[in-house]
Amino acid sequence: MRVLARMLDRQGLALVVVDDAGTPVASNDVALRPPSGLEQRGPALVTLDWLTAALRLPDGALAVTGDETRNVTIRVAAEVALLCLDASISPVPGPEPRFALIFSWNESSSGYGVSAGEARLHALLEHTTDIITVLEADGTVRYSNPAAGLLTRISGSEANGTQAFDLVHPDDQTTALVAFEDALLRSTPVGPVELRIRFGDGSWHLAEVFVDNLLDNPSVGGLVVTIRDITERVRHEEDIRRRERWMRSLVENLHDVVVVLDRSLRVQYATPSIERLIDAPAYTNIGESAFNDIHPDDVDHVGASIDRLRSQAGASERMEFRLRHARHGWRWVEAITVNLLDDPDVDGLVVTIRDVDDKHAADERLRDAYTRQRDDADRLRDVDKLKDEFLATVSHELRTPLTSIAGLTELLLNDHGRLPAAESHHVLERISANATEMTSMVERVLDYSRLQAGRVELRIEPLDLSAVVASLVDRMAETLKGHVVAIAVPPLAVRADAGALTTVLRNLLLNASKYSPAGTRIEIGARANGDEVVVWVRDQGIGIAPADQSKIFQHFYQAGPYHRGVGIGLNIARRYTQLNHGRLWLESSPGDGSTFYFMLPARSRE
């Protein structure tokens, strides 16, 4: 046998000695040196099921006996029929049944030969992670690549003859059969079809299946089924979809609005919440300039903020501006803009917008309230100051006539009986005048106090205006005796409170007498004006400057330091006029005197 082996080595023929079970027991060097692409198999190429079939007949008897030599075609790497070789089998003399298998690596049968491309294909089949199996027309497995064995734990010859549909989930059987039958009728691949396949650990994996009908291809003679496990891919895709749904739900339910602007400041994206903000569909401003919906008065400062922002990657700017609203004009919003122009996934400015119109209005109300409170505080301080001045003035004004009365009274007491009658009468007149002045001042203070406290009760009734004027002028004769008083009041009836009307006229006459030189004219006049009566008091005094005219009716206000007074007479006159359903105003020019007008109803307005 060793001599035969060396002879065959020199001839380039392979020798493999096998026992009656087809197991190699010896081989020559050529058998151990297969062509390129088959080195990894070595002599194991011939230890396949076909060898047993070649050695025995269907009844189990040896097919080769005695000196018989039988020519056979062996399929090397029979799973894919990668190489078919012509070989001869001869018995080897000896005590144990041995058979010599002689073949040439370079002689193929029926046109099957191994090429470099086929070798590469074989390598791919061996190393791919996809399951590749060849099925008979009835679904029986004829071949499965190593990946099938790794995943299903049924490999090699164990898979041959099994039913492929046994690995398909019961709920997917119908889908698998339809695809298989479709493949039998077509010459083009069927798929992808998604099926659940049972793996070796008993778990079900989702697979993507393609079926290619190669029954008519003599090199294959079956249906090639490619199975790719997509369980992880589908799980990953579902995770992505779930995250996308989560993100979409989050974005769609955001109260704030997120807008993305491109480098030209055009709107590229806006979250659906913008519809609530502007009361218009979100797509209406896509592709438009962001400044189209910003209030014209806010465009400059928003543009300046964005210009600063664009020069610094990752920088942010906060701003407030007015945004157009479809139904309500403009609404104040707060925007925080982040520069993500350098982020390749964004390539834009991301603007988060929040509606702060209510807050802005509340802030405005707070500012107004603060301003009002500050103004009120200022006024209170002014009032306190005026009150202090008022008390000081009243004290001074009362002290002056009191001092005069006290001095004159003392004079009478000390010189009683020695003063001539005329001089005594003059002293008494001065005492009376000072007392009258004090009484008038006290009455004005009491009137002001009642008005401030709201305790004034008026009795509105028809009055003869001319009679009221005549009576008052007569009572004020001592006060007005230094002036020429002219009365031009026709018989007119007014509706007013007698006391209030008298107070108004008295205060106006006192004011005229104080601010006009002695000997000048004071005129009291009246005229009908429809259902009203206009009354005036005109003097030829110093007049009132325009700057003082708007303040002259305020309490404690005095237009100048020319005469004594507490600054409440004109305020009382206006308020009493208003309580009588009338109004009081003035006309004056510095140096030309003043005319005070007031209007009262001539009859009832009921």
Domain with CATH 1.10.287.130 in the chain: 362-434
Distance in angstroms (rounded) separating the CA atoms of residues 508 and 323: 57
Tell me which H or E stretch contains 181: helix 173-185
Supply the pLDDT for residue 493: 93
Q: How far is CA 380 from CA 144, 312, 383, 387, 548, in A?
A: 102, 52, 5, 10, 20
Query: Do residues 548 and 562 lie in contact, with contact meaning Cβ atoms separated by under 8 Å?
Result: no
- The Cα diameter of the chain in Å comes to 195
230-256 in b/e form (b: 16+ CB < 10 A) is: beeeeeeeeeeeeeeeeeeeeeeeeeb
Q: Mean pLDDT of successive 10-residue segments in the chain (606 residues)?
A: 66 78 78 58 42 52 53 48 62 79 63 46 63 86 75 61 86 92 86 88 89 83 87 91 86 82 88 79 78 89 88 87 85 90 88 86 87 88 72 62 76 74 77 72 69 74 93 86 93 90 90 90 95 95 86 71 63 86 91 93 65
What's CA 392's distance to the chain center, in Å?
62
Pair type for strands 316-325 and 267-270: unpaired
CATH architecture of 2-118: 2-Layer Sandwich (3.30)
Supply the pLDDT for residue 392: 65
- Domain 256-355 matching CATH 3.90.1200.10: the answer reads no
Supply the pLDDT for residue 584: 94
* pTM of the model as a whole: 0.40
- Domain 458-601 matching CATH 3.30.565.10: the answer reads yes
Query: Do residues 141 and 135 lie in contact, with contact meaning Cβ atoms separated by under 8 Å?
Result: yes
Supply the pLDDT for residue 112: 43
Supply the pLDDT for residue 39: 43
**Interacting residues of 209 by C-beta distance below 8 A, sequence separation 6+:** 176, 179, 191, 192, 193, 194, 195, 225, 226, 227, 228
For the stretch 285-289, contacts whose Cβ atoms lie closer than 8 Å and that sit 24 or more positions apart, written own/partner, are 289/264, 289/265
Task: Name the fold adopted by 362-434.
Answer: Helix Hairpins (1.10.287)
Quickly tell me which residue has 């339910």 as its tokens: 253
**Interacting residues of 498 by C-beta distance below 8 A, sequence separation 6+:** 459, 461, 463, 468
What's CA 67's distance to the chain center, in Å?
97
**Interacting residues of 561 by C-beta distance below 8 A, sequence separation 6+:** none
Domain with CATH 3.30.565.10 in the chain: 458-601
What's CA 291's distance to the chain center, in Å?
18
Distance in angstroms (rounded) separating the CA atoms of residues 25 and 15: 11
**Interacting residues of 61 by C-beta distance below 8 A, sequence separation 6+:** none
Supply the pLDDT for residue 486: 95
- Domain 128-235 matching CATH 3.30.450.20: the answer reads yes
**CB-count burial class (<10 Å; 0-12, 13-18, 19+) for 62:** middle
Distance in angstroms (rounded) separating the CA atoms of residues 18 and 28: 12
Supply the pLDDT for residue 400: 60
Give tens-digit pLDDT for 107-123.
554 444 444 445 455 55
Q: At residue 605, what are phi and psi to the nearest 5 degrees?
A: -105, 15
Q: Angle at CA 125, nearest 5°, toward 121 and 129? A: 135
